Structure 1
Amino acid sequence: MPGGSAARPASRLIAVRAQRRCDDASEVFDPRDRETETLPMATAASRSPTTVREFALRVVTSPRLEDKLRPPPPDLPDTNRGPALRLERPARTRDLRIVHVHEARVPKIQGMLDPKQRVRIVHAFCHHELQAAELCAWALLAFPDAPDAFRRGLVRVLVDEQIHTRLYMQRLEAMGARLGDYPVSAYFWNKIGGVASPAHFVAALSLTFENANLDHAPTYAAWARRAGDEPLALLLDRIYADEIHHVRFGWRWLARFKDPHESMWEAWTRRLPPPLHPGRARGREFRPEGRLAVGMDPEFVERLAEAPVTLGRRRGERGAPCD
């Protein structure tokens, strides 16, 4: 696979010096860089992970939110990666158990003006971020032979998703709710069946779900301001800024993984697992500036702008767009 790494030394470390962003594959990560941004969580009973694999297993297989959202220790070795492990579903507590989409409908964007509907939309956003964190952990388990730099960047993205989840949880608390108060579906998890490689993973998560948020986050921020909810608007602004770096991470790695003769558009669309398609990577109001900030080539941005928008989802899928 293009972009693969040479034989690795016996000892590999994720995080010895903090860098600013995950989008550059050469950068490394130190969780201590983000300590001031995390929110207090209950002390988890499980022991601290000693490898990236153990950390990823904790995120996916522990049902406890405090385990799923606790960042990795600094200088966490990426040794003993083990065989590829493809988990079908995350462990969840009863109040966050996954239900059918018919049971987890979310209000449309106009509901942002009604506090009772807005809290349900924020709840959906919070769960989107939790799924994104779980799926980054899933990819670390599913692709143990991925390049070292890819895995380092993926840990960084995972920690960002943990932070986003906590920030939404904080906003929910201010609105008188908590994560788990409303039913949730497995929208993201339902799309991993065709994710056969790291290239497929970034095509789906980074360049579809997170790419779409370059439209959705600013749109929902505008509605939050219209509703007088400036704290939520500022949170969505922050999510948008982080999404640019997450999408850039996927863009740069797809460029490395793809066949040399493929255009980026061809590389992306050929690796989209069904039922995903280009229309899922944008909102009704297309915002090219976010994609240009990512570094996407003009042809890709133009073709994405022309992609038919299908926010109606499959039967039973309603409400807030995906993360």
Structure 2
Amino acid sequence: MNIATTMMPSAGEAVRNVLMTPEPAAKVMAARHATREWRKGRLDAEFTVSMPVVPARPARPELLRPGQMPRRGKGTSVTKRIALIHALAHIEFVAIDLAYDMVGRFGADFPREFADDWLRVGAEEAMHFVLLDRRLREMGSFYGDLPAHDGLWDTAKETAYDASARLAIVPMVLEARGLDITLDTVERFRAQGDLLTAKVLNRIYHDEIQHVFFGTKWFEFCCERQKTDPHRHWKNLVKKHFRGGLKPPFNDSARHAAGLTQEYYLGIE
């Protein structure tokens, strides 16, 4: 008698499913499911499935290039806050895909702990998105109600074939920039009496320190394996792949807590 063997789904398939799920609520569910199944040992540590060049996107928000984005300086205090929260929600929505693409695209090149870390990041980015979308709905709006920035995936496409470049730019530049500016944004919301949004952003800020730490940790793993000086290599990658330039002020204490010491970024402004 032939006994059929049920094959365990792979982690690569699970993360590709996240990337190919366009609608926000469904993407959040797929993200949570992938991370939960990995933690419970229900996914094979196999990363042979190809990742999409660009993830599936919902019909809304309308995606605009940076020069086409409306300025947030006009409108009432409430509409300005909604516009800023919407922009932050979009960043977190794209960050879900960035985390799972990190796992699916580069997981085979690293120890299992790499997937542990970035699947955790992906689930936390999904939670951040949910918290911000909830605030939008409480304020009479929702994610997709306003246009959003279409350039956030550009860096992912440019670094799709180099794990060290992806780590150098996404967590160690883009997310680290969040450490520099988020506390000021928290204070702006507090000053306007929006304590709920301030609380959400403060939660995101503390989670992002850990995310930047994971980026620094695995970037230094790459450099050790390649026998490359991490500070010099990082600066070279930033000059090559990040056209915006790094601009102070820097939150030195938060960056240090994330392992991103001044040897990395001082002198590259």
Give the TM-score normalised by the residue count of structure 1. Answer: 0.71
Structure 2 residue corresponding to 1:186, chosen from 150, 175, 192: 150
Structure 1 position 52, deviation (Å): 2.1
RMSD between aligned alpha carbons? 2.5
How many Å separate the matches in 1 of 2:257 and 2:235? 21
Preserved CA contact (<8 Å) 2:182 2:201? yes
Preserved CA contact (<8 Å) 1:213 1:240? yes
How many Å separate the matches in 2 of 1:254 and 1:221? 29
Query: What SS is found at the alignment partner of 2:63?
Result: coil
Structure 1 position 85, deviation (Å): 2.1
How many Å separate the matches in 1 of 2:140 and 2:243? 37
Q: Is 1:98–2:63 an aligned residue pair? A: yes
Preserved CA contact (<8 Å) 1:193 1:273? no
Instruction: Give the equivalent residue in structure 2 for 1:57.
Output: 16
Change beyond 3 A, Cα 1:53–1:122: same
Query: What SS is found at the alignment partner of 2:137?
Result: helix
**Aligned pairs for 1:1-323 within 5 A:** 50-70=9-29, 71-72=32-33, 73-74=36-37, 75-79=40-44, 81-83=46-48, 85-107=50-72, 114-147=77-110, 148-195=112-159, 196-259=161-224, 262-272=228-238, 274-276=240-242, 279-280=245-246, 284-300=248-264, 303=266, 306-308=267-269
Query: What SS is found at the alignment partner of 2:149?
Result: coil
Q: Calculate percent identity across the aligned residue pairs.
A: 22
Instruction: Give the equivalent residue in structure 1 for 2:5.
Output: none
Structure 1 position 114, deviation (Å): 1.7
Query: What SS is found at the alignment partner of 2:109?
Result: coil
Question: Where does structure 2 lack aligned partners over 5 or more consecutive residues?
Answer: 1-7
Change beyond 3 A, Cα 1:273–1:183: farther
Change beyond 3 A, Cα 1:84–1:295: same
Q: Which moved more, 1:49-58 or 1:160-169?
A: 49-58
Query: What SS is found at the alignment partner of 1:249?
Result: helix
Q: 1:241-281: CA deviations, max 9, x gaps? A: 1111011111111111115654332121233385415834x
How many Å separate the matches in 2 of 1:273 and 1:60? 28
The count of residues paired between Structure 1 and Structure 2 equals: 253
Instruction: Give the equivalent residue in structure 2 for 1:32.
Output: none
How many Å separate the matches in 1 of 2:75 and 2:164? 35
Change beyond 3 A, Cα 1:287–1:80: closer
Q: 1:80-133: CA deviations, max 9, x gaps? A: 73536242222122113533333433526xx79821111011101000001011
Query: What SS is found at the alignment partner of 1:208?
Result: helix
How many Å separate the matches in 1 of 2:240 and 2:143? 29
Instruction: Give the equivalent residue in structure 2 for 1:20.
Output: none
Structure 1 position 292, deviation (Å): 1.8
Preserved CA contact (<8 Å) 1:83 1:144? no
Structure 1 position 170, deviation (Å): 0.9
Change beyond 3 A, Cα 1:241–1:274: same
Change beyond 3 A, Cα 1:254–1:240: same
Change beyond 3 A, Cα 1:249–1:113: farther
Amino acid of the structure 2 residue aligned with 1:57: R
Structure 1 position 227, deviation (Å): 1.5
More helix by share: 2
